[in-house]
Amino acid sequence: MGQVVYSARVDIETLRRRLFDPSRPTSFNARARAKRWGVFQQTFPELDQMRVLDLGGTPGYWVNAPVRPASVRCVNLDPQHTSQESSWIEYAVADACERQAGDYDLVVSNSLIEHVGGHERRLRLSEAVHATADRHWVQTPYRYFPIEPHWMFPGFQFFPASLRMRISKTWPVGHIRSTTDSAWADVSWVELLSITDMRGYFSDSAIWLERYSGAVKSLVAVAS
């Protein structure tokens, strides 16, 4: 029995690496990130000269990026990344839904807007983006992609909260694995957006539909 359990754990960890490990060029995450970076660079070819405000981002994302902007300021509520600052990356523990002081050429936000907590907070985030710079790139997973991206479970976003909580405590593949105490909060803080939602929050932006195998995987509001 022990050998069977061990083999199952090995298979799960292998699957997780193949899906999520950014150091594996063939992983799902690495390929998706490389494709998105290609479009990002084409959209903002002068990125290496730009002052970037990243709402919800981390220094590690930019350290590993193929292009280094002139400067980056990351705004995030999580204090654990403050030690990763460098001469060109600043990290601020603050609310990304509030307008940030400073002069920026571009606002970037990846996979944040679905986590901020309801319509009023999403509206405040979009207002902060528009007020900070003329150009922006705001990405979020698409609500109707068949596999929910945080738990990597088919149709997860459409299940009742009680079932999502049960899955979050036992499903070992995705990014989020809950305890009994955290399950309700974990599933409640994720609210995926539709195309209509993104067009409502970013009515003057182009909405790029990022696809995977023909299906829309994520939405990006772009002002270039």
* Between 14 and 159, the higher pLDDT residue: 159
User: Does residue 114 sit within a domain?
Assistant: yes
* Domain shared by 164 and 215, yes or no: no
Q: What is the CATH number of the domain that holds 82?
A: 3.40.50.150
Please check the confidence at residue 1 and state whether its pLDDT lies above 50.
no
Residue 20 lies in a domain: no
With CA atoms as reference, report the closest residue to 102 among 73, 129, 81.
73
Same domain, 126 and 164: no
Indicate if 183 and 217 belong to the same structural domain.
Answer: no
- Per the domain annotation, does 73 fall within a domain? yes
Task: Give the angle subtended at the CA of 99 by the CAs of 184 and 204, to the nearest 5°.
Answer: 90
In this structure, the answer to whether residues 50 and 115 fall within a common structural domain is yes
Q: How many CB atoms lie within 10 A of CB 154?
A: 11
The answer to whether residue 98 is domain-embedded is yes
- Tokens representing 23 are 């150091």
pLDDT tens-digit series, residues 104-125? 999 999 999 999 999 999 999 9
Q: Which domain, by its residues, includes 160? A: 148-189
Place of tokens 């979009």: 126
Average pLDDT rounded to a whole number, residues 2-16: 55
Cα–Cα distance measured from residue 131 to residue 78, given in angstroms and rounded to the nearest whole number: 23
Q: In terms of pLDDT, which residue wins out, 165 or 36?
A: 165
Determine if the pTM surpasses 0.85: yes
